[in-house]
Amino acid sequence: MKAESFSPRRLLQSMTLGTAVSVAVALLATAASVAPADALAATAKTHQAAKKAASASSAKKKTVKTASAKSANVASDDAPKASRKRATLASNVRGHHGAVRKVAFQPRRPTVGQAFGLHDTPDALALRSSVAYVVDQNTGEPLFDKNSHAVVPIASISKLMTAMVVLDSKAPMTDQLEVTDEDRDYEKGTGSRLSVGSVLSREDMLHIALMASENRAAAALSRYYPGGRPAFIAAMNAKAKALGMNDTHFENSTGLSSSNVSSARDLVKMVNAAYQYPLIRQFSTDRTYDVYTGKRNLVYNSTNALIRGNGSWDIGLQKTGFINEAGECLVMQATIHGRPMVMVLLDSFGKYSRFADAARLRNWLDAGGGERLTAANTANGGT
């Protein structure tokens, strides 16, 4: 059924100015492709505008000590989410003057899913993710479905498609690629441990892009593609079309653009396709990896807490993602009680909530949830 057109005016009138601006940006960004934009409009129409945000401003908190946001083991898509404004204040304590740094944290902008009311969808497990979809990998049978048709930004989940396009090109994995200014993130302003001038093999670039979500590595991979970045993005979208991912559109190889959108149902197709590549399975599930950039040695760790954990999960492929518009995202192939599953969690609220949601789903499946799903979740679930 053709989706009715979505009225930005109705959505913007029901929200505070700050929220309205962020949603308008997300809507403009996702208009890059007709089919995904129509699907995003359908999501917005199905889930009416979110409730009015509370207008009371939060009290400002003063601190005299600021925790460093740097971490050698955390990828840029998992960096702190709140923006920071710094001010230096003069103080007089017992006649002594000194400088006190005050750091004010601003609340994170709402995700597209929050703006469209996807978080208002109830589910039996009280998940923090507004989109959750679990499928038996062998049979394709849906076992849990919450908003699986919703089209939302997918952040660094995009790197699975990036990896497939790189490997499909058959370019030598030993080729040396150099990071340049063109690989910097000028859209979101995220940092990277790969400084300009760093040189890595194509294989190492792919490894840290998948395991540690290294954005400059993913950007360099697309730039070195035959025909450059435009040809690479065209190949990403062509591959998505070939896989039947009709709700999906890509604008870049990193996922930092909110115009990289998809649905949980499409992402199951992408995970199944990526699972056919042994290197993607290996690189995405490694816990740690060392690289030499030509300047220094760097140690990267997985962005997935389930990979870094106690080994209780049997994960065959995974990818995390985050940008403000997408929320916390996770896709993975995992075997539960000898049964291979594909799990998709999108737009989760809270840095570790996606991993907690995965554990809730696994516990639910352990308890036989797959047999009693349908009545509880189909009525409340997919859109």
Residues designated as active site: 156, 159, 213
Q: For residue 145, what are the contacts with CB-CB under 8 A and spacing of at least 6?
A: 132, 133, 134, 373, 377, 378, 381, 382
Quick one: CA torsion of 257, 153, 361, 147, rounded to 10 degrees? Answer: 180
Distance CA 104, CA 99 (A): 16
319 is in an annotated binding site: yes
> Which ranges in 275-368 belong to alpha helices (H)?
278-285, 305-308, 353-366
Cβ(247)–Cβ(262) under 8 Å?
yes
Cβ(109)–Cβ(324) under 8 Å?
yes
SS3 309: coil
Distance CA 183, CA 220 (A): 6
SS3 41: helix
Name the residue among 185, 72, 148, 199 with its Cα closest to residue 381: 148
Region for 205 from its dihedrals, namely left if φ exceeds 0, alpha if ψ lies in -120 to 50, beta otherwise: alpha
Cβ(304)–Cβ(318) under 8 Å?
yes
Q: Provide the β-strand partners of residue 145.
A: 133
What are the binding residues? 319
Binding residues for substrate: 319
